[in-house]
Structure 1
């Protein structure tokens, strides 16, 4: 069995995004008999607030399902900006560094596994690992550097050139680099990562926990919704990358269709901004994040899942929420350019319109509302895609094998 040290900023009890997947991966590996240690931060995402019962000022050691978890100090701003996000990453990486050093040198883990924020954490991990027998694995949930510049967080060309050069060298130095979509995997080649070092490690869904149901009346009633409502659901993080403004604009244009209800479930940096934009709209409801045990009920409440995405974030991120949407057996309406991974995935399970095109989005939603048989067919295909390509057990079994192979192979630098 392997000894794996994982460094990541997001971890349960966070229930959305990377923290959810890291937690499920860790518990699965521990249940298989592997020794896992996790160095992480206190929960703060997507609310951007330190979780109740945790401190951002102190170290804390925990034990969950046989897994050692060490939480390191973290500074969290109430209103995140591009510069403040960088400071958040640094505020975690700096106090985590001595713990990483001690763990690697003292315990000599077989694999050191680094997740977001990799640009700041990975150099230290790579350097220390050279003093040990440990193999290094970098996992990319989204391309931090590319996304920051494409979304306009940083605009100086020299800064981008330097950051890109630094990142590319860093990626090539790891024994393995994985990412969550085929298009994101192709980008690794452009960054100089050798094919034999690259691993496709997608996010997943537990298709036994998330599955189609036929009775959502009781759950809908909690939010004053009935079976007569056509529920267009967005569930997940409310941040800049999602392009959620299109949902509010579409709701404005559909005020004459009161049966169509936009439900926005979640939290994030721009939630309050969206609430303000929708304050006079009767066809928009905001509801809080739901606990995992209610996730299947939430997803099955939808008549259509909404998956907005900004054009400049294309193939830099792969929305983690997509797997649950597919598994629930409901059709999806996405905004994505035709050549992207999101479009390729959704085209057989719903409709795809250009990012930012409110008119096309409204037209597509009206078509779905008036064509229930077609929606049922899309939902059926969505479920088939989830089982075939996103099943948790299949993906994690392949990942475990890659971990074992990694500990046995010495790669030449590339």
Structure 2
């Protein structure tokens, strides 16, 4: 098949932005001709990756995949205006300078986030008559509202209504719509998406074997082998509800427990001040470079996944869930819905009530009671569950089948 991928984020960007690259390589490895339309890499710093210079467009080949990059305004800071400029600039550039590379495809995979990507998507769908598989990686407008970017003013309701209508138009134009967790599929059905369009496409994690850590992060931080390390890595924002973790640590008197927080975000400074007022061992590491992530993953006996209590929490599946399971590490999930279900079903997780310091503290005490050896066994169970449920091979199988179904729908039309 001739397959296109449309995503604002792509290699060499790390974390969730790396997932489209995994898919592209997987499809190319099965003999498909793959073309990618994306932006110049700048996630998560908002600065261009080394070796790139902004231009109207640039073509390259990565791992046998043809990649067209188009200009955008690089920004990942806390400004809604600059973030919107990044989204809209990519959409405009992709429409003007990139859609030609997606002509003549059998099917197009599209990452739905941000929803401004619909502009080049609709052009390819209707002008080039290419059927679309729309992969709903983030729920809009729900995820934007949960992040706090819409504020609480009178314009919030109007913005949500506009984005809801925009998403509905995207769903109508797609031949198939992938959802990443059962809860998201149920919600999309309630929002009027025909069930025959819906297909379960859970996310995977990058599975390249990482280079051994250059240093032992535990030793570097002066953490002894008897200590039990909880790691949170990712965005430190309002949606993650990390205040409850800081408060929970203050309730646990086991001296073996140490909490490492890596990342940055809107709530970072407030949480640093909150943790400084606690007598517990909570350390903020800031945003670590990509090559330090294997060391951070290895340092944690258990990794923390947290979502603030909200209607959105039941439908959110952070990519760190799959990444933690793939790495064979245990999980403490202060979440509800699909995340809690995976934590339980995998055998790798301990579940606490989100936003409840007492419940999270109970989870921390259970971690300490289990000890490092038993937490390693939980991690092994999680890795086996990942292999069966979320692996790249399984994910590419599912996406490939959905793309074939979309192409068949296009031929019938």
SS of 1:225 mapped into structure 2: coil
Q: Deviations over 1:215-257 (max 9, x none)?
A: 9994522333221111001123334432233333334455x54
Is residue 131–residue 409 contact of structure 2 (8 Å, CA) maintained in 1? no
Equivalent residue, structure 2, for 1:109: 105
Distance change >3 Å, CA 167–CA 67, structure 1 → 2: same
Equivalent residue, structure 1, for 2:127: 131
Alignment of 1:122 with 2:118, yes or no, is yes
Alignment of 1:341 with 2:341, yes or no, is no
Give the Å deviation of 1:99.
2.5
Equivalent residue, structure 1, for 2:187: 187
The count of aligned residue pairs is 402
TM-score for both structures, normalised by structure 2: 0.86
Give the Å deviation of 1:365.
0.3
Q: Distance in 1 between matches of 2:92 and 2:214?
A: 47
Equivalent residue, structure 1, for 2:393: 393
Give the Å deviation of 1:361.
1.2
Alignment of 1:406 with 2:402, yes or no, is no
SS of 1:242 mapped into structure 2: coil
Q: Distance in 2 between matches of 1:306 and 1:159?
A: 32
Equivalent residue, structure 2, for 1:328: 327
Q: Distance in 2 between matches of 1:285 and 1:147?
A: 25
Give the Å deviation of 1:267.
4.4
Unaligned 5+ residue runs, structure 2?
A: none
Q: Deviations over 1:326-379 (max 9, x none)?
A: 233332111113xx1011111243222222112221222022112237645533
Distance change >3 Å, CA 33–CA 351, structure 1 → 2: same
Q: Distance in 1 between matches of 2:412 and 2:62?
A: 37
Q: Distance in 2 between matches of 1:24 and 1:263?
A: 28
Equivalent residue, structure 2, for 1:153: 149
Q: Deviations over 1:18-58 (max 9, x none)?
A: x1111111111122222222121222223333333434564
SS of 1:409 mapped into structure 2: helix
Equivalent residue, structure 2, for 1:370: 369
1:156-167 maps to which residues of 2 (within 5 A)?
156-167=156-167
| CA-based RMSD | 3.0
Alignment of 1:79 with 2:77, yes or no, is yes
1:240-279 maps to which residues of 2 (within 5 A)?
240-254=238-252, 257-268=254-265, 270-271=267-268, 274-275=271-272, 277-278=274-275
Give the Å deviation of 1:77.
4.0
Unaligned 5+ residue runs, structure 1?
A: none
Q: Deviations over 1:58-101 (max 9, x none)?
A: 43322211212222222234632334322221121111111233
Q: Deviations over 1:96-133 (max 9, x none)?
A: 111233224xx311112221434212144224422223
Deviates more, 1:373-382 or 1:164-173: 373-382
SS of 1:284 mapped into structure 2: strand
Q: Distance in 2 between matches of 1:224 and 1:287?
A: 17
SS of 1:314 mapped into structure 2: helix
Distance change >3 Å, CA 150–CA 330, structure 1 → 2: closer
Equivalent residue, structure 2, for 1:203: 203
Distance change >3 Å, CA 111–CA 291, structure 1 → 2: same
Q: Distance in 2 between matches of 1:412 and 1:85?
A: 39
Equivalent residue, structure 2, for 1:141: 137
